[in-house]
Amino acid sequence: LMNEVEDWAEKNGGFKRHRFFRTSGSSGKEKWVALSDEALEWSARSVIGALGIDSKDVLGLALPVTHVGGYGMVLRAEISGASLLKLEVRWNAGSFADWCDVNRVTVSSLVPAQVYDLVSGRLSCPTFMRNVVVGGGPLDEELAKKARDLGWPVIPSYGMTETSSQVATGDGLPLLQGWEAKIMEGRLALKGNGLLSAIIRRKGDGFVARDPKIDGWYMTNDRCELIGRGLRVLGRADRSVKVLGELVNLEELEKFWRGKLKREVALVARPDKRRGVNLFLFYEGIELDLARWNTSLPGPERITEATAVDLLPRSELGKIDRSALAKFDKD
C-alpha cells in the first residue's frame, strides 16, 4: 500500500523529498501523513538539542522505523554521529533490558505499554541508560514513578506523526525550542518547522491530499491547557459521543472502568436508533459481573454489553486498536 501512495504522490507532484507515514490516528480511519525530509531533520535536531545527544551516545531502537518515533531515532543518530543499534528480536521486556545492558545503550524511546512491561517484570535499568523518552500515548504518573524506582530514567513526551515526532518533552511537557502552541476552542494548535505537508486519504481507486494547516498552524484533536510553555493534555476532542441527547466522554468513562476492574479496558460506541449510540465495554481477563457498577452510572453512561477478552487487540506500537474492536462480533 505504501508503494501505491508513493507512486501516486510522485505522479501528482509537490512531494519531492517526502516520506509517507501510515497512521490510523486515535479515530481509527486509515490515512498517510506526508512529511518532508526538511521537517523530519528539523525535528531530529530539536530533539538532539533537548536530550543533549552527541557522538558518544548509543541509541537503542526498539520501535518500528515505519513509525515516526522509530524513524526519528535513525535520523538523530545520523545527524549527531551517535551509534544506532536496532533491537532485532520481537519485543520482550527482559530481552530488551539485557540487550541495553550488553550494548551499553544510553538513549532509547518506548511507548507506555513497553514501560508497563518493564515495571511488571520488575526489571531494573542497566547502568549506562540516561534517557528513555516515552511517547505514543500519555505516561501515567504512577507508572512513571514505578519505572523510576527501578532506575529507568523515563521522560514523558507529547507528539504525533503530523509533527514529525515529539513537540514537548520532560516533566510538565515543556515545548521544545522552535515550537509555538495556542489553544483554540479548547483544542491545541501547533506551529513549527516540523509540521506535515499534507494528509493523504483514499478516494475511489486513487488518493487525495489536503494540507490541514491554516496560516501555518495545525489544529490537533487534543484537548489541552497551556501552563507557560508547558502542555497539560486533558484528552481527545473526538472521543465524546451523544447518548440519549447527553454528551458522554469515553475517555473519562474508560478511566472509571479501569479503576473498578484494575485491568485494561476499551469502550466502543455503535449507532443505535433509540439511544443515539450504545456503549460496548471490552476488558482483559476473566469474566466479571459488572451490574452493580453499571447501575451506579447515570443512564447515558451505562454500557449495553461487556465482553471479557484474553488480550485487547493492539497496534505494533501497543496502542489499543479500537477499529478492530468496532468490527468485533461475539458470534
Which CATH number do you get for residue 291? Answer: 3.30.300.30
Query: Alpha-carbon distance 36 to 164, whole Å?
Result: 9
pLDDT at 234: 87
Q: Comparing C-alpha atoms, which of 166, 180, 168, 177 is closest to residue 216?
A: 180
Stretch 194-204: mean pLDDT, rounded? Answer: 93
For 311, the domain range is: 240-326
Q: Indicate whether 97 belongs to any domain.
A: yes
pLDDT at 25: 56
pLDDT at 192: 98
Q: Indicate whether 309 belongs to any domain.
A: yes
Q: Indicate whether 114 belongs to any domain.
A: yes
CB-based contact 58:82 (threshold 8 Å): yes
CATH number, residue 198 = 3.40.50.12780
Query: Alpha-carbon distance 129 to 107, whole Å?
Result: 6
225 and 247 part of one domain: no
Q: Which three cell numbers stand for residue 9?
A: 504522490
Instruction: List own/partner pairs for 294-300 with CB under 8 A and 24 or more apart.
Output: 297/253, 297/256, 298/246, 299/244, 300/243, 300/244, 300/245, 300/246, 300/248, 300/275
Domains: count for the chain? 2
SS (H, E, C) the chain: CHHHHHHHHHHCCCCCCEEEEEECCCCCCCEEEEEEHHHHHHHHHHHHHHHCCCCCCEEEECCCCCCHHHHHHHHHHHHHCCEEEECCCCCCHHHHHHHHHHCCCCEEEECHHHHHHHHHCCCCCCCCCCEEEECCCCCCHHHHHHHHHCCCCEEEEEEEHHHCEEEEECCCCEECCCCEEEEECCEEEEECCCCCCEEEEEECCEEEEECCCECCEEEEEEEEEEECCEEEEEEECCCEEEECCEEEEHHHHHHHHHHHHCCCEEEEEEEECCCEEEEEEEEECCCCCCHHHHHCCCHHHCCCEEEEECCCCECCCCCECHHHHHCCCCC
At 151, is the pLDDT very low, low, confident or very high (cuts 50, 70, 90)?
Answer: very high
Q: Which three cell numbers stand for residue 94?
A: 527482559
Q: Comparing C-alpha atoms, which of 239, 270, 231, 244 is closest to residue 255?
A: 239
Domain boundary among 182, 210, 236: 236
Q: Indicate whether 19 belongs to any domain.
A: yes
Stretch 98-113: mean pLDDT, rounded? Answer: 95
* Residue 39, C-beta contacts closer than 8 angstroms, at least 6 positions apart: 164, 193, 194, 195, 196, 197
Q: Which three cell numbers stand for residue 186?
A: 479548547
133 and 268 part of one domain: no
Domain boundary among 236, 251, 271: 236
86 and 210 part of one domain: yes
Considering only CA atoms, give the Rg of the chain. 21
84 and 228 part of one domain: yes
pTM score of the predicted model: 0.82
Q: Indicate whether 98 belongs to any domain.
A: yes
Q: Indicate whether 331 belongs to any domain.
A: no
Phi, psi dihedral angles at 86 (to 5 degrees): -110, 130
179 and 201 part of one domain: yes
Q: Indicate whether 108 belongs to any domain.
A: yes
Q: Residue 86 pLDDT more than 50?
A: yes
Q: Indicate whether 79 belongs to any domain.
A: yes
Query: Alpha-carbon distance 87 to 92, whole Å?
Result: 10
Range with lowest mean pLDDT among 21-30, 180-189, 300-309 = 21-30
232 and 246 part of one domain: no
251 and 187 part of one domain: no
84 and 112 part of one domain: yes
pLDDT at 331: 47
183 and 322 part of one domain: no
Task: List, for residues 202-250, the tens digit of each pLDDT value.
Answer: 888 889 999 999 999 999 989 999 999 999 998 888 788 888 888 888 9
Task: List, for residues 152-184, the tens digit of each pLDDT value.
Answer: 999 999 999 999 999 999 999 999 999 999 999
Domain boundary among 236, 253, 277: 236
Stretch 138-155: mean pLDDT, rounded? Answer: 94
205 and 257 part of one domain: no
Phi, psi dihedral angles at 125 (to 5 degrees): -80, 135
- Residue 32: strand pairing partners: 22, 200
At 137, is the pLDDT very low, low, confident or very high (cuts 50, 70, 90)?
Answer: confident
CB-based contact 311:266 (threshold 8 Å): no
Task: List, for residues 4-61, the tens digit of each pLDDT value.
Answer: 899 888 888 678 899 999 886 555 567 899 999 999 999 999 999 999 999 999 999 9
Q: Is 47 left (phi over 0), alpha (psi -120 to 50) or beta?
A: alpha
For a pLDDT cut of 90, what percent of the chain falls above it? 69
156 and 248 part of one domain: no
51 and 171 part of one domain: yes
